[in-house]
Amino acid sequence: MRQRNLTTFRKLLHERRQELMSEALGTMHGMGETREQFPDPTDRASLEGNRNLTLRIRDRERKLLSKIDEALGRIDDGTYGVCEECGGQIGIERLKARPVTTLCIECKSSQEAEERRRQFS
Ligand SMILES: [Zn+2]
């Protein structure tokens, strides 16, 4: 991948990381995204359900954070944008939409098809 693109993605990933950190802080104080996603109090389940939701979001954020860190590591070691399954280049458009991805669109599609097959067998 070209140096110019790498710089763009590094910046993008750093921004995502920053956003995620402030979201995570918002979650801890019971504010931020969750409130906007569930504005109606009747949509919220019991307090227990809310706590589970918060935990799930924080788990999701944690996973995404480590994916972002891994992606930044791949930029540093020069493997960013390379599909870990087939070794081919991941499309720039796909990376822009999902900068933490490690699979090209073909491998992702076949992986999803495989998961669906497993689910129904
Ligand atoms: Zn691939």
The token pair that represents 67 in the structure block: 């994916």
> Ligand 1: distance of its center to the CA of 109 in Å?
9
pLDDT digits (tens, 9 = 90+) for 5-23: 999 999 999 999 999 888 8
> Ligand 1: distance of its center to the CA of 79 in Å?
13
**Alpha-carbon separation of residue 26 from 47, 48, 86, 106 (angstroms):** 18, 19, 39, 37
pLDDT in tens, the chain (121 residues): 889 999 999 999 999 999 988 887 776 665 444 445 555 555 555 666 777 777 777 888 889 999 999 999 999 999 999 999 999 999 999 999 999 999 999 999 999 999 999 988 7
> Ligand 1: distance of its center to the CA of 41 in Å?
44
> Ligand 1: distance of its center to the CA of 59 in Å?
27
Instruction: Please tell me the pTM assigned to this model.
Output: 0.72
> Ligand 1: distance of its center to the CA of 58 in Å?
30
pLDDT digits (tens, 9 = 90+) for 27-43: 666 544 444 555 555 55
Determine how many CB atoms are found less than 10 A away from the CB of residue 77. 7
> Ligand 1: distance of its center to the CA of 107 in Å?
4
